[in-house]
C-alpha cells in the first residue's frame, strides 16, 4: 500500500518547522531546494511554500515519527496519512476551504482533428 500525506481540515497542507528541519537533516531534495530559495530571499521558513511529493518516503517517515499533530504547523489541524493500493493513479483534490482528499485519476477520450485523444484527469500527482 502507498502512503500519502494530506490535510483533512480547513487551511490546507502545512508542515511544522520541526518537520521541515528533520527533512533537511535527512537531506530531502525538496527541503534542500526550499532552503536555497529562502536563503536567496533572506527569509525564514514559511510553512505554506514548501512543495514536496505527498508520497515522499521521508515525509511520511517524519509525520509518523513526530505524530500528525507535531508534524503540522501550530495554527493548523493535524495532518493525515492515507493508504491506497500501490497500482492506483491518484491526485490530491483540494476543496475550497483547503481540506484535501485523494481521488483516483480518471481517463477520458475526445476527438481532435480526426484523432482520438486519451487523457487522464488529475489536478495533482507528485
- Residue 126 lies inside a defined structural domain of this protein: no
What is the count of structural domains for the chain?
1
Find the domain containing 40 and state its range. 2-121
Nearest in space to 107 (alpha carbons), one of 98, 115, 116, 99: 116
Tell me the three cell numbers of residue 82: 492515507
Q: What is the pLDDT along the chain (126 residues), one digit of tens a residue?
A: 999 999 988 878 889 999 999 999 999 999 999 999 888 888 877 666 678 999 999 999 999 999 999 999 877 788 999 999 999 989 898 888 888 999 988 877 888 888 888 777 654 444
Q: What is the pLDDT of residue 98?
A: 83
- Residue 117 lies inside a defined structural domain of this protein: yes
Give residue for cell 521558513.
Answer: 45
Distance between CA 48 and CA 50 in Å, rounded?
6
Q: What is the pLDDT of residue 100?
A: 92
Contact criterion met (CB below 8 Å) for 102 and 4: yes
Amino acid at each position: 500500500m502507498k502512503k500519502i500525506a494530506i490535510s483533512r481540515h480547513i487551511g490546507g497542507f502545512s508542515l511544522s518547522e520541526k518537520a521541515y528541519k528533520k527533512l533537511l537533516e535527512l537531506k530531502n531534495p525538496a527541503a534542500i531546494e526550499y532552503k536555497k530559495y529562502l536563503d536567496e530571499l533572506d527569509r525564514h521558513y514559511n510553512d505554506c511554500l514548501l512543495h514536496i511529493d505527498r508520497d515522499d518516503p521521508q515525509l511520511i517517515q517524519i509525520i509518523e515519527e513526530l505524530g500528525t499533530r507535531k508534524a503540522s504547523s501550530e495554527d493548523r489541524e493535524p495532518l493525515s496519512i492515507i493508504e491506497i493500493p500501490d497500482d492506483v493513479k491518484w491526485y490530491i483534490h483540494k476543496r475550497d476551504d483547503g481540506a484535501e482528499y485523494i481521488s483516483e485519476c480518471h481517463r477520458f477520450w475526445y476527438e481532435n482533428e480526426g484523432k482520438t485523444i486519451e487523457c487522464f484527469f488529475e489536478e495533482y500527482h507528485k
